Amino acid sequence: MAEDFSVKFTDKQYLPDPSVKKNSWIGDYQKAYNAFIKDPDSFWDKNASELHWFSPYSKVKEWNFPHARWFPDGKTNIAYNCLDRQVQNARRNKVALIWKGEEDTERIYTYRQLYREVMRMANGLKKLGVVKGDRVCIYMPMVPEQIISMLACARIGAVHSVVFGGFGAAALHSRITGAEAKVVITADVTFRRGKSIPLKHIIEEAIIDAPSVEHVVVLRRELHQPVEIHREMEVDFYDLIKDVSPDCEAEVMDAEDPLFILYTSGSTGAPKGIVHTCGGYMVGAYYTTKNVFDIKDNDVYWCTADPGWITGHSYVVYGPLMNGATIIITEGTPDYPDAGSYWRIVEDFGVTILYTAPTAIRMFMKMGEDWPDKSNLSSLRILGSVGEPLNPEAFEWYYRVIGNNRCPVVDTWWQTETGMHMITTMIGEPMYPGFAGKPIPGVVADVVDKDGKPVPHGTGGFLVLKEPWPSMFRAVFKDPERYQKYWDTIPGYYTVGDLAVKNKQGYIMVLGRSDDLIVVAGHNIGTAEVESALVSHKAVAEAAVIGKPDDVKGNVIKAFVILRLGHEPSDRLKNEILYHVRITLGPIAMPSEIEFVTSLPKTRSGKIMRRVLKAKEMGMDPGDISTIED
Ligand code: WTA
C-alpha cells in the first residue's frame, strides 16, 4: 500500500440554482446528515417503513463487527415492492419499462404488464423445479426478459447471479460453477451495431463440467434462423411460460435471506461472489434512488448500465422500480448508427434523469458537441456518473453541453460490495469538479492512513467506511476469509481498496485503486483473471498485466508476456494470444497491448511487482524496490 502523498487540485466550484434544493426529497444535505448521525437506527427505520413488509422487524440492526444483520426478523419481498405495490396504487397503468432496440424497435411494459410477465416467469421457474434458495444464472443481453428473469427469481426466493453478456465461456463457467447454478437463462443472440452476435454456443461450452446445471432456458430472438433447442437440457423461454398461471404469490422472505450473488473481480484468485440479502439491500437501493436521483412520479429515468453489473441491479432494476419510476433500457451502443443515438433517445422519450459512465462521457467529448446539439435535451433535470473518477474536464463538458449549465451532476462513488451509493454531491449542494462529494446521509466514510488515522485535507490516503449500512454485502459466497480480509486491512473499518483525498470542504475525490484491480471503461477487471487467461495459452509461460491510463476508457490493459521455450515473438502470436483471451474471458478483458519480455520484476517470495512494471511503462520512479529479486 502506498504511503501518504499530497494531491493538487483547484477549488473551482459550481453553484446550483437554489430551487433545486427547495424542491428535492432530501432538502438540506447537512440537516439530513445531522439527523442521521444523531440517531442512525431511526433514520433507517424511517426509510425502511416506506416499503412493504409482510411482517415488521422489531429492530433495525445487529452489528457484530464485521457481521451485520439488518431488519433481522422482518419479512418482505423486493419483487413485491417493485411490482405489487405499484399495481395496487395509481401506477398500475404507468409505463414501467421502455426497451429500445437497434433499428428503431421498441417494446413498452406498464407496471401491470411487467407484473404479469414476472409472475408467469416465476411459475415457469417453479415448473423447472427451482425453489427458494436455488441459484439461477442469468446470462442475457439487455432485453426486458433479462429484468423479468431477475424479478421472477426474487419473487420466488431464488438467488440470481447475473453474468454480464460480454463475458466469454471460461469466465461464465467459473461463475456458474462457483454459484452452483441449477438453471441458466440465456438468449440465442445479442444484437450489436446492426449485427446479431451468437450467445448460445458460449453457454453450451460453459456448462460442460458444471454438474449443478439442470436446465438452460433460451430466449430465441433470431426469428429468421431460430437456433435449435436441445430438449434434453434446454427449453424455449416463451414455451416455458406459455401455459402457466399468470398468478404467483411473492415468497415471504426473511430480511436476511440471500437475494443475489454478483461476481466481481478480486485482486487475487477467482472472482468473488458478492452476496446481498433481501431486506437491507432493498432499503439501500430504494432510499438512494429516491434521494440521490430525487425521483418523482413524472420522471423518465435512464441508467445506461447493463444489469450484468451492480449499477444495473440497483439503479436499472430494483431502486427505480421500487420508486415506481419509468425506466428505459437499450441494447444499442452510444456510437451506432452514429454518435447521436443516445441524444435521440433523450429527446424521443423525454428523459429527465440520465445516469452513465465517465468513459461514455469522454467518448462523447471526443466526438464533438455537434451530436448532442442536434437533439433537444431540455427534458434533462439531473445527470449522474458512476464507475470511475469523473475527471474535471469530463464533468465540465457533461454539465455544460449535456446539462446546459442547469442540471446538477451527481458523481456517485460506490461498489458491488456496498450495494448502494455511498458518496456523492447531493443535488442542490455546491459541486467541485473532480470530487465525487461527501458521504450521503446514512454513510460514514473517511480518508485515513494505514493505521486508520484521518489524513489532513490535501493529503491522499485510503478510503474507508466506518459504520455498517443496510445494503452492505453479507458475505463472499463460500469464502469467509475473503470477506474478513476487507475488514482486517485497516483495523476497525471496511477498506474499499481506493485511494482518495479530501478538500477543505470535506468533499472526497477518488483517485483510483490501491490494489491490483484495473478499472477499464468503468468495469473492474482483476489482474489475476487476465493473467490466468494469458497463461492458459500454450505459448505463454508467464504473464503480468497492468492498467495504463487512457483518454477515453480511463485505463486500458497492457500485458507483459514471457513465452515458453520453442515459441518466438511475432505479431501473429500476439493476435493469437489476444484471440484466446477474447474467447475465454470475453472482449472486455482483452489487453490492448502485449509486450514480449524475458523476465518480470518479482519479490523474493515470487510475487510479481506490477507497480514496477507500471512505473517503467509510465517513465516514473518505481519507488522502493529493495524487495525485488534481481
Ligand atoms: C470505482 C461500480 C471514482 C472504484 C458501482 C470502486 C469509482 C470500483 C466511482 C467499484 C466514482 C466506482 N468515482 N471511482 N464515482 N464509482 N468507482 O464494484 O474504484 O463495479 O472501488 O461498482 O469502481 O466497482 P464496481
- Write the secondary structure of 499-515 as one string of H (helix), E (strand) and C (coil): EEEECCCCCEEEEEECC
Least confident of 64-78, 253-267, 365-379, 615-629: 615-629
C-alpha span between 364 and 372 (Å, rounded): 9
Q: What is the mean pLDDT of the chain?
A: 94
Domain with 130 in it: 79-251
Which of the listed residues 473, 491, 512 is the one where a domain comes to its end?
Answer: 512
SS (H, E, C) 457-485: CCEEEEEEECCCCCCCCCEECCCHHHHHH
Question: Is 553's pLDDT higher than 60?
Answer: yes
306 lines ligand 1 (CB under 6 A): no
Q: How far is CA 40 from the centre of its chain?
A: 26
Question: Is 142's pLDDT higher than 70?
Answer: yes
Question: Is 205's pLDDT higher than 60?
Answer: yes
Place of cell 443496510: 470
Strands (DSSP E) contained in 413-454 are: 423-424, 438-439, 445-448
Give residue 625's pLDDT. 66
Q: How far is CA 308 from the centre of its chain?
A: 7
- Report if residue 530 sits inside a domain: yes
Atom 14 of ligand 1: nearest residue by CA position? 388
As a whole number, mean pLDDT of residues 235-252 equals 97
Place of cell 454539465: 399
Q: What percent of the chain has pLDDT over 70?
A: 98
Same domain for 174 and 53: no
SS (H, E, C) 526-564: EHHHHHHHHHCCCCEEEEEEEEEEECCCEEEEEEEEEEC
**Ramachandran category for residue 220: left, alpha or beta (phi over 0 → left; psi -120 to 50 → alpha):** beta
**Residues 33-51: tens digit of each pLDDT:** 999 999 999 999 999 999 9
* Cα 1 to middle of ligand 1, angstroms: 19
Give residue 44's pLDDT. 98
- Report if residue 528 sits inside a domain: yes
- The per-residue b/e assignment along 594-627, b for 16 or more CB within 10 angstroms, e otherwise, is bebbeebbbeeeeebbbbbbbbebeeeeeeeeee
As a whole number, mean pLDDT of residues 214-221 equals 97
**Atom of ligand 1 at shortest range from CA of 411:** 15
As a whole number, mean pLDDT of residues 521-535 equals 88
- Report if residue 628 sits inside a domain: no
Q: How confident is the model at residue 624 (pLDDT cuts 50, 70, 90)?
A: low
Cell numbers representing residue 552 in the block: 477515453
389 lines ligand 1 (CB under 6 A): yes
**Residues 57-116: tens digit of each pLDDT:** 999 999 999 999 999 999 999 999 999 999 998 999 999 999 999 888 999 999 999 999
Same domain for 549 and 467: no
- 520, containing H or E segment: strand 517-520
Of residues 483 and 89, more confidently modeled: 483
CB count in 10 Å sphere of residue 166:
18
- Report if residue 623 sits inside a domain: no
Which of the listed residues 512, 546, 561 is the one where a domain comes to its end?
Answer: 512
As a whole number, mean pLDDT of residues 340-355 equals 97
Atom 10 of ligand 1: nearest residue by CA position? 415
Which of the listed residues 512, 542, 575 is the one where a domain comes to its end?
Answer: 512
Give the amino acid at 594.
I
Q: How confident is the model at residue 630 (pLDDT cuts 50, 70, 90)?
A: low
Question: Is 593's pLDDT higher than 50?
Answer: yes
SS3 assignment, position 420? coil
- Report if residue 127 sits inside a domain: yes
Give residue 103's pLDDT. 80
239 Cβ neighbours under 8 A, 6+ residues apart? none
User: Quick check: 140 and 186 in contact, CB under 8 A?
Assistant: yes
CATH code where residue 545 lies:
3.30.300.30
Same domain for 550 and 594: yes
- Report if residue 627 sits inside a domain: no
Question: Is 286's pLDDT higher than 80?
Answer: yes
As a whole number, mean pLDDT of residues 180-187 equals 98
Same domain for 498 and 354: yes
- 197, containing H or E segment: strand 195-198
As a whole number, mean pLDDT of residues 143-147 equals 98
Same domain for 426 and 289: yes
Q: pTM for this one?
A: 0.93
- The count of structural domains within the chain is 3
415 lines ligand 1 (CB under 6 A): yes
Question: Is 2's pLDDT higher than 90?
Answer: no
519 lines ligand 1 (CB under 6 A): yes
Instruction: Compute φ and ψ for 513, nearest 5 degrees.
Output: -75, 150
* Cα 554 to middle of ligand 1, angstroms: 12
Give residue 526's pLDDT. 85
C-alpha span between 446 and 508 (Å, rounded): 8
Give residue 1's pLDDT. 45
Q: How confident is the model at residue 3 (pLDDT cuts 50, 70, 90)?
A: low
C-alpha span between 22 and 17 (Å, rounded): 10
Same domain for 126 and 15: no
Same domain for 525 and 493: no
Atom 15 of ligand 1: nearest residue by CA position? 413
Atom 12 of ligand 1: nearest residue by CA position? 387
Instruction: Compute φ and ψ for 233, nearest 5 degrees.
Output: -130, -30
